[in-house]
Structure 1
Amino acid sequence: MKHVAVMTAYKDFPMLEQSLLRLREFGVDVFLHIDRKSTFSASEMNAISQLCVKVRSDYSVPWGGYEHLEAIVKLMQDIVRTGRHYDYVHTISGQDVIVHSLDTRPEYWDGTIYMKSIPREEFPDNVEVRIRRRNLLRRFQKWKKPWQFADFLLGKVQDLSGLGRKGLPSGTPLHKGEVWLSLPYKVCAEIVSQPRYLGILAELKSTYIAEEFFFQTAIMNSPHASRVNTRNLRYTDWHSGRGRPAFLDETDLSPILKSGNIFARKFSTEKSTALLDMLKHAPSREVGGSG
């Protein structure tokens, strides 16, 4: 089996380098997008490029921005254009770490799509608001209060005027989940190449946090929907109160290994160095399979 990772990153060079080194150790190729806002030095960028098949820096990516989705899709298209043989494509961030060799879990790679996904009828109210309102200021710095206020006012105008959307213009049923997923290569190539799926991508351009909708909506409205396992093979701590998600530390070692997941997130140089060192010495036989 040959695996490739599509990675997006923007900071914490030591952690990114360690993540890339582990991927290389386990034989995973990497196609990487570095946020245009990144302050990595020339020497750091050179070190990164030595560990990747391809490095792009096309977009300045605001949090939750459509540009993040564009960067991921463009890297997937790069993979397709290489003509290289891959079996699975995994999307990860520069703060994610591969836990153990993918070869220890050959039963996972049977054509299953690992992707969190829920249908629109299960969306919470705040997500429905995101669907209804067009993200008209998506290119602006919304962490700055004047832009936040302008965004709020535009949202209210859309609500009161009835100009908000009811869904995608095409009427395609929406599904939602995290952008971190694992796809068979052939499914990935289809989703980022065929016009009907790229049409969904274009329709999401003015959607808040569009990355949460594209792959789920495309795949769940494709012949591949029955192959989806909503366990996405990522260990993430949303519930300990240390952050959403938490930056992992050495107390997470046992849960990570017992989870049977392939990746874990999020890591930082400041909080996760000890855990990363422990993972380097954890034997593969300790990895569980409970999910």
Structure 2
Amino acid sequence: MKQAILITAYKNFDHLIDIVTFFDNDFELFIHIDKKIKVEKRIIDKIKNIDNVKFLSREYSINWGGLNHLKAYLLLAKAALKNQENKYFHLISGQDFPVKDLSYFKNILNAPKLYDHLEFFEIPSSIWKNQNGGLDRLEYYNFFDLIDAKKHIKWLWRLVRIQKKLHLKRRVSERIGKLYGGFTWWSLTRDTLQYVIDYTKEKPYLIHRMKHTFCSEEMYFQTIIMNSDFSKNVVNDNLRYIDWDPDRVGKDSPSPALLDMTDYEKINTSNKLFARKFDTPISDKLKSLIQKQDSTKNI
């Protein structure tokens, strides 16, 4: 039995290689690199030539908040499910890093029962209070695939406000079921992930309806899984250490804190499998200490 690591990346490719090489051949790696990012051929070749990298795609050009991010996840999931040996699937970004040693990851498959680890909450939720509980994501056109939010985020929010003033609202069909949201990253069992892929093929209404929503990847998996029998297997914990402290990142920040040495003890005493976000040079000392600790444990 194996585990699959699904990664979407767009920067810091030396860090991406460190993620990949942390895992041995008991794991398979499936990677999507943003199509619009210029990457040297030697880097792509270096990643492809690592033994446990089974799939590397540049299928989609990804704008933050746009639908193509979700499409990239589904692409990676379908590729990873082709190998029947893959029993557990972890979705991370290229700015994450494993914070348990390799033996800890391997022991996951020795548990009497495998659970799905996915953060979820019902929409509307106070967690997304600045977006009408999350309903603004679906009830208005959000043109993140067409407009680069990193350059024009104020215009994107302004377009939503204009729609509200004009009383233009998109219908949310009862066909979707109860709406759920949660942060993107998850660790899922084979049966649950296969159910999401089958649902996408057999009931394409939801994936089509996610066009021109905001951050559909933060609703899609949650809504499908929590409206199914697989909800009984879900633990509401995505096993990711992420710091959203407003004193650190600012009020209503769209991105979590970049991790540094102040996070080490909290990471080390947590039950989390991965932490994010790592970035150079802020996270270098923290990452080095985690790597040193993991290599010592794996001797």
How high is the TM-score relative to the length of structure 1? 0.87
| Cα distance change, pair 187–144 in 1 and its aligned pair in 2 (3 A) | same
Q: Does 1:219 align with 2:218?
A: no
Whole-angstrom distance in 2 between the partners of 1:62 and 1:142: 7
Contact 1:11–1:39 (Cα < 8 Å) also in 2: no
What do you get for the CA RMSD once the two structures are aligned? 2.5
Q: What is the CA distance between 1:200 and its match in structure 2?
A: 1.9
Whole-angstrom distance in 2 between the partners of 1:155 and 1:67: 20
Contact 2:6–2:29 (Cα < 8 Å) also in 1: yes
| Cα distance change, pair 47–164 in 1 and its aligned pair in 2 (3 A) | same
Q: What is the CA distance between 1:204 and its match in structure 2?
A: 1.2
Residue in 1 aligned with 2:241? 235
Residue in 2 aligned with 1:279? 290
Contact 2:260–2:286 (Cα < 8 Å) also in 1: yes
Which moved further from structure 2: 54-63 or 165-174? 165-174
Residues 75-95 of structure 1 show CA distances to partners (whole Å, capped at 9, x for unaligned) of: 111122x33311111100001
Identical-residue share of aligned pairs (%): 28
| Cα distance change, pair 106–152 in 1 and its aligned pair in 2 (3 A) | closer
Contact 2:64–2:149 (Cα < 8 Å) also in 1: no
Letter matched to residue 13 of structure 2:
F
| Cα distance change, pair 118–196 in 1 and its aligned pair in 2 (3 A) | farther
Residues 168-211 of structure 1 show CA distances to partners (whole Å, capped at 9, x for unaligned) of: 46242110001100100121012112345543222212211111
Letter matched to residue 266 of structure 1:
K
| Cα distance change, pair 79–256 in 1 and its aligned pair in 2 (3 A) | same
Q: What is the CA distance between 1:137 and its match in structure 2?
A: 5.6
Whole-angstrom distance in 2 between the partners of 1:69 and 1:165: 20
Residue in 2 aligned with 1:289? none
| Cα distance change, pair 193–106 in 1 and its aligned pair in 2 (3 A) | closer
Which moved further from structure 2: 46-55 or 115-124? 115-124
Contact 1:33–1:75 (Cα < 8 Å) also in 2: yes
Letter matched to residue 120 of structure 2:
S
Q: Does 1:248 align with 2:259?
A: yes
Q: What is the CA distance between 1:71 and its match in structure 2?
A: 0.4
Q: Does 1:167 align with 2:172?
A: yes
Contact 2:65–2:145 (Cα < 8 Å) also in 1: no
Which moved further from structure 2: 179-188 or 235-244? 235-244
Q: Does 1:120 align with 2:123?
A: yes
Contact 2:91–2:185 (Cα < 8 Å) also in 1: yes
Q: Does 1:28 align with 2:27?
A: yes
Paired residues for 1:38-187 under 5 Å: 38-51=37-50, 52-80=53-81, 82-99=82-99, 100-101=101-102, 102-105=105-108, 110-123=113-126, 124-125=128-129, 126=131, 127-136=134-143, 138-145=145-152, 148-149=154-155, 151-152=156-157, 154-168=159-173, 170-187=175-192
Q: What is the CA distance between 1:38 and its match in structure 2?
A: 1.8
Structure 2 unaligned blocks of 5 or more: 250-254
Partner-residue secondary structure (3-state), 2:282: helix
Residues 128-168 of structure 1 show CA distances to partners (whole Å, capped at 9, x for unaligned) of: 222221224632223334x843x445423432343312524
Residues 21-53 of structure 1 show CA distances to partners (whole Å, capped at 9, x for unaligned) of: 11x248321100000122221111111112311
Letter matched to residue 213 of structure 2:
T
Q: Does 1:269 align with 2:280?
A: yes
Whole-angstrom distance in 1 between the partners of 2:260 and 2:233: 33
| Cα distance change, pair 73–31 in 1 and its aligned pair in 2 (3 A) | same
Partner-residue secondary structure (3-state), 2:238: coil
Letter matched to residue 34 of structure 2:
D
Whole-angstrom distance in 2 between the partners of 1:221 and 1:93: 26
| Cα distance change, pair 162–172 in 1 and its aligned pair in 2 (3 A) | farther
Letter matched to residue 85 of structure 1:
E
Whole-angstrom distance in 2 between the partners of 1:169 and 1:61: 29
Residues 97-155 of structure 1 show CA distances to partners (whole Å, capped at 9, x for unaligned) of: 1122213455767231101100014254412222221224632223334x843x44542
Residue in 2 aligned with 1:199? 205
Which moved further from structure 2: 39-48 or 189-198? 189-198
